[in-house]
Structure 1
Amino acid sequence: MKSLDENYYNPFFSHIYVEEEIADHPRVKKILARFENAEVVYIRHYKDIFCRRRQDYEEQHHAQNLILAKKTGSLIYQGAPVCQNFGNTWFYYTSCMMNCIYDCEYCYLKGMYPSANIVIFVNIEDIFKELHQMLSEHPVYLCVSYDTDLLAFDSVTGYVREWEHFVLEENKRSPNPLKIEIRTKSANEKSFESLIPDENIIYAFTLSPQRVTEQYEHNTPSLKQRISCVTGAVQKGFPVRLCFDPMIYCPDWQQEYDEMIKLVAKEVPMDQIFDVSVGSFRVSQDYLKKMRKSEPYSAVVQFPFQNDSGVYHYGKELTEQMEHYLTGKLLQYVPEDKIFRWES
């Protein structure tokens, strides 16, 4: 965890902003009950707070506040080109929340959003309704935890359980299958004690070498903690995807990733892993511009990346070297058809 000056920063979630329209929503009342000491401020629209000008993302991350809102307009979106689709034609994502309690220096959310405060959209039922309509037309592979970490925040929202219930029920009645991915850096082992394993709900754990975790993934669980959570989930029968994505360059990256894979293979039953994702860091040029402005001293953000068609990356030679090296290590434990590399 980052050390915070308690005399300078407000406590986390000291203020909760609530859209007036959804003030009486049962989920709003449930969340507010968890933060009895928070100051509740009622607002017209979440963007009045979230999209204010001249906000300092890094400063806000030291003392995040909550914004409870209603999501409107289109609720499900086409999968982004920089994300892996794992061979799924009907690839989409949705956002039940915006922003994350973790503070990874290389996170694209820092370039995507003007605020570090966390937005929870309480009308998840509307997302379910739109998804139900889509499933009447074709199958759907849906990523539900790209713009946040649902598992890490599940004690507040309960959204992982809600998604589980929806998938289980929808696949009983829909003419087309629904599969979702819940991506996380959490080590929330207790969640898996009450969840139900299902082949259509993939828990995708992002794993990084401990050096990368310590230097760039602030507030996140250690590599060993994440591996312990992965092992427990696999042993309980949950489909688990291991995501070595994004790979982050550091001077001794080969040794760091070699040691990580050895530790993973030692602790995790690799023959029971659903699949594996490999990809090096990449981000849109617009996002990186904002990230570099807010994090001028971050080695991972200030790296001299190469720009190809609006996407910054390590360059073809280094990218191929890193991803090929890691894939080669993984092939000792995982069949080739279970290893997915991101391709531009």
Structure 2
Amino acid sequence: MKTLPTYLQGISRVVVDAAVADSPVAQRVREKLPHLTAEVLAEGEALSSGLAREDILYLKRYRGRFLRHCPGTSHYRCCGYQIVHIGENCPLRCSYCILQAYFQDRVLKVWANQDDLWRELDQAFSANPDRRYRVGTGEFTDSLVLEALTGYSRDLIEFLGSYPQVCLELKSKVVDLSWMDVVRDPSRVLPAWSMNAPAIADHEEQGECASLEERLAAARTCAREGFRVCLHFDPMIHFPGWQEGYARTVEMIFDHLRPEEIAYVSMGSFRHMPDLKRCIIENFPGSGYIHGEFITGIDGKQRLLRPLRVEQFRFLADALRRGGLDRQLYLCMESDEVWQAVFGRTPADLGGLYRHLMAQAFGE
């Protein structure tokens, strides 16, 4: 049996709803974790509480909406992509991750009732055959972190192969390219990796994340196979030496990728709800950036002071522009005033951020 990645070897229990106990996802998990006997929950039975410190894989029959809009935040420019909701939580240990405030346990939830997912997606996409969709799975979990167990992205790519009006983004901090051989059209799948300064990747992205070098090497592999890739600097963090750090990451990007191989690059400053600050202080006491110069934004979240945000954004945008990128660059959850200060333009000058990124995703 192929050895599982280190970040999956800490799973101590597998729990499955009876309704999905024989699903393809459950069957794969049993094959990959033969040393663990799945605990089957009867209809109406809930997963027991008090599980905060152990990684549990819960294969669940999900009853909510699978296709949904990005939650975004009020008063700021959102990119407008839609989420294909496949599960919740992540086994990686990134100090800044919002999921630790959303979810108070270590339960890795996977929606194993894929027939319901396929039905909902087909209804949405078939009802609007002329409408294009830019969707992703990396909002409430890492798109690829459970792929070695579940094969979920592979299944989704195969399904979406029948819907050429849909472009799927797979955002991750790990390297798993096992899905590549089922792709019918590389222009409709956007492999994406999180980027940061090396010091942040080394000290704040724990839990066996791939190194920046490994992520970019994977991106290069995808580009050589005809895919365009996406890179996400979100969250950018203000720390001593940040200029040198982010400059080094930009150098690494252009050591691996040509500008035309990159669909888009997002930039977003670290922002947080009060609950996230508490989680970071408790779980990662050595993460000093949480005590930086923050103010309350108009959406109620704590944000780095605007002059500091603009300085970081300008620095990174200028470095990326020198490498040949421009229209690929955008800001995540920022105001028109910050856009103007960083780029000398606003989303309206691009025809609206939603439309602009749709065109970038489809290679126009």
Q: Same fold (TM over 0.5)?
A: yes
Residue 133 of structure 1 is matched in structure 2 by 123
CA RMSD, Structure 1 to Structure 2 (Å):
2.5
Residue 226 of structure 2 is matched in structure 1 by 237
* Among 145, 149, 162, the residue aligned to 2:142: 149
Residue 322 of structure 1 is matched in structure 2 by 312
2:77 and 2:166 mapped to 1: Cα distance? 17
2:34 and 2:209 mapped to 1: Cα distance? 26
2:210 and 2:277 mapped to 1: Cα distance? 25
Contact 1:199 1:238 in 2 (8 A): yes
1:317 and 1:13 mapped to 2: Cα distance? 43
1:117 and 1:157 mapped to 2: Cα distance? 15
Residue 13 of structure 1 is matched in structure 2 by 11
Specify the SS of the correspondent of 2:327. helix
Shift of 1:198: 2.4
1:183 and 1:99 mapped to 2: Cα distance? 14
Residue 280 of structure 1 is matched in structure 2 by 269
Residue 361 of structure 2 is matched in structure 1 by none
Amino acid in the other structure paired with 2:89: N
Residue 69 of structure 2 is matched in structure 1 by 78
Contact 2:20 2:26 in 1 (8 A): yes
Contact 1:65 1:118 in 2 (8 A): yes
Per-residue Cα deviation, 1:71-99 (whole angstroms, up to 9, x for no partner) = 1022222212159754x5xx321321211
Shift of 1:286: 4.1
Contact 1:208 1:247 in 2 (8 A): yes
* Among 130, 153, 157, the residue aligned to 1:164: 157
Number of residues paired by the alignment?
320
Shift of 1:126: 1.6
Amino acid in the other structure paired with 1:155: A
Quote the sequence identity (%): 20
Q: Is 1:95 matched up with 2:93? A: no
Matches within 5 A, 1:190-229: 191-192=179-180, 195-218=183-206, 219-229=208-218
Residue ranges of structure 2 left out of the alignment (5+ in a row): 1-8, 336-364
Distance 1:125 1:279, change over 3 A: same
1:141 and 1:95 mapped to 2: Cα distance? 13
2:277 and 2:120 mapped to 1: Cα distance? 32
Contact 1:19 1:46 in 2 (8 A): no
Amino acid in the other structure paired with 2:186: D
Per-residue Cα deviation, 1:51-74 (whole angstroms, up to 9, x for no partner) = x36x54xx33xxx12111111022
Per-residue Cα deviation, 1:141-185 (whole angstroms, up to 9, x for no partner) = 2221222223232121111211211221123xxxxx222221111
Residue ranges of structure 1 left out of the alignment (5+ in a row): 1-10, 172-176
Shift of 1:34: 1.4
Specify the SS of the correspondent of 1:29. helix
Q: Is 1:65 matched up with 2:56? A: yes
Q: Is 1:116 matched up with 2:96? A: no
TM-score when scaled to structure 1?
0.84
Per-residue Cα deviation, 1:233-285 (whole angstroms, up to 9, x for no partner) = 11111120111221122210001001111121122222321121111112334
- Which range moved further: 292-301 or 18-27? 292-301
TM-score when scaled to structure 2?
0.80
Specify the SS of the correspondent of 2:140. coil
Distance 1:271 1:24, change over 3 A: closer
